[in-house]
Amino acid sequence: MADIKKVVLAYSGGLDTSVIVRWLQDTYQCEVVTFTADIGQGEEVEPARAKAQALGVKEIYIDDLREEFVRDYVFPMFRANTIYEGEYLLGTSIARPLISKRMIEIANETGADAISHGATGKGNDQVRFELGAYALKPGVRVIAPWREWDLNSREKLMQYCEERDIPVDFSKSKKKSPYSMDANLLHISYEGGILEDPYAEAEESMWRWSVSPEAAPDKPTYLELTYRGGDIVAIDGEDMSPATVLAQLNKVGGENGIGRLDIVENRYVGMKSRGCYETPGGTIMLRAHRAIESITLDREVAHLKDSLMPKYAELIYNGYWWSPERKMLQTMIDDSQAVVNGVVRVKLYKGNVIVVGRKSDDSLFDASIATFEDDAGAYNQKDAEGFIKLNALRMRIAANKGRGVL
């Protein structure tokens, strides 16, 4: 353990990571550098500085990464219409590669030889953090306290704090949420508590970002979303930065009861886990992006993207953002988005995102061909006869050989 001189810790300032600071100092006799990322979790991050200083930390990093998070991670993911196992919009997963990247940058800047995180040995985040770290700095050491120590309960953590005079904002009398939560600009997640029973309905008081669909306004809200290169660049004609776009969609979507999800997912480490998620802005973005692609993408390009999306989603969920295969898929996806420009009009109403219009200068929709009225010869319907017969040829041959289904 003596060969560990300096460790960069992903630090929130909460109970777990405050204990980890002192545990690293005591166990490894090393210097600790704390890194706190603002990725839109909705809580003040600056108080982490005073907490780290009280623990004797001399090098403290607090970074506002909101724009980078949405621009370089969330938006590229949504260009692929990414969902995991048909439902999950990957709000936690997509934040981990950015945090890993910044931790490695700080390690390089400070001369640290190890990084540390507060992810447990049961979850996906340990995999995501560490795969990212090894991809970016192959020789880095990783310290995962939850896989080493015996402080496996809140009571033991509190006792550790009391014995070592660790200043934390928790007390036995202070009310604490029964859920394990993770938040960023894309979503907020809830696990644990009554959610460990997959048949128990989540309490209404649990949800923080959205009203229930029943309590949403009786009048719908309309939005016009302007796309350029597959990304939203303006809402209702007002240009916005990536982080501002997502924050605004979260606000409006939450007000209309949009984005709640209750799923049982398959973790990479092998177990099933029940979680609830609020992703108002992402839910709107997914629906609207598919709408603008529906008129701008070639059919086979769109279908190929859809066929590859589950693999792309699995790579992100499992922590392979920095892998060569994810980068290869991203290159293909991004190339397809050059023509994904235009405006999508959506109606938000009581938990629903309803596409009511789409337009683009790059549209492949040709009304003169698709019309039910007189098309003035734009489409020769007789051509369909040969098209159908040629596509049926192999089945006709098989049926003549007695391989028919009747």
Domains with residue ranges and CATH for the chain? 6-65+95-163 (3.40.50.620), 180-297+340-359 (3.90.1260.10)
Asked if the model's pLDDT at residue 385 lies above 50, the reply is yes
Q: How confident is the model at residue 173 (pLDDT cuts 50, 70, 90)?
A: very low
- Three-state SS for the chain is CCCCCEEEEECCCCHHHHHHHHHHHHHHCCEEEEEEEECCCCCCCCHHHHHHHHCCCCEEEEEECHHHHHHHHHHHHHHCCCCECCCECCCCHHHHHHHHHHHHHHHHHHCCCEEECCCCCCCCHHHHHHHHHHHHCCCCEEECHHHCCCCCCHHHHHHHHHHCCCCCCCCCCCCCCCCEEEECCCCEEEECHHHHCCCCCCCHHHCCCCCCHHHCCCCCEEEEEEEECCEEEEECCEECCHHHHHHHHHHHHHHCCCCEEEEEEECCCCCEEEEEEECHHHHHHHHHHHHHHHHHCCHHHHHHHHHHHHHHHHHHHHCCCCCHHHHHHHHHHHHHHHHCCEEEEEEEECCEEEEEEEECCCCCCCHHHHCCCCCCCCCCCCHHHHHHHHHHHHHHHHHHHHHCCC
Asked if the model's pLDDT at residue 171 lies above 90, the reply is no
pLDDT digits (tens, 9 = 90+) for 102-124: 999 999 999 999 999 999 999 99
Assess whether 16 carries a catalytic annotation.
yes
Q: How confident is the model at residue 43 (pLDDT cuts 50, 70, 90)?
A: confident
Identify the active-site residue in 141, 180, 323, 345.
180
pLDDT value for 1: 52
pLDDT digits (tens, 9 = 90+) for 217-228: 999 999 999 999
Identify the active-site residue in 22, 66, 96, 358.
96
Residue 178 or 201, more confident: 201
Mean pLDDT across the stretch 144-165?
90
Mean pLDDT across the stretch 265-293?
97
| pLDDT > 70 fraction of the chain, expressed in percent and rounded | 98
pLDDT value for 299: 98
Asked if the model's pLDDT at residue 294 lies above 50, the reply is yes
Identify the active-site residue in 16, 262, 362, 375.
16
| pLDDT > 90 fraction of the chain, expressed in percent and rounded | 91
Assess whether 96 carries a catalytic annotation.
yes
Asked if the model's pLDDT at residue 383 lies above 70, the reply is yes
- pTM tops 0.85, yes or no: yes
Identify the active-site residue in 93, 102, 125, 287.
125
Mean pLDDT across the stretch 362-375?
94
Mean pLDDT across the stretch 13-30?
93
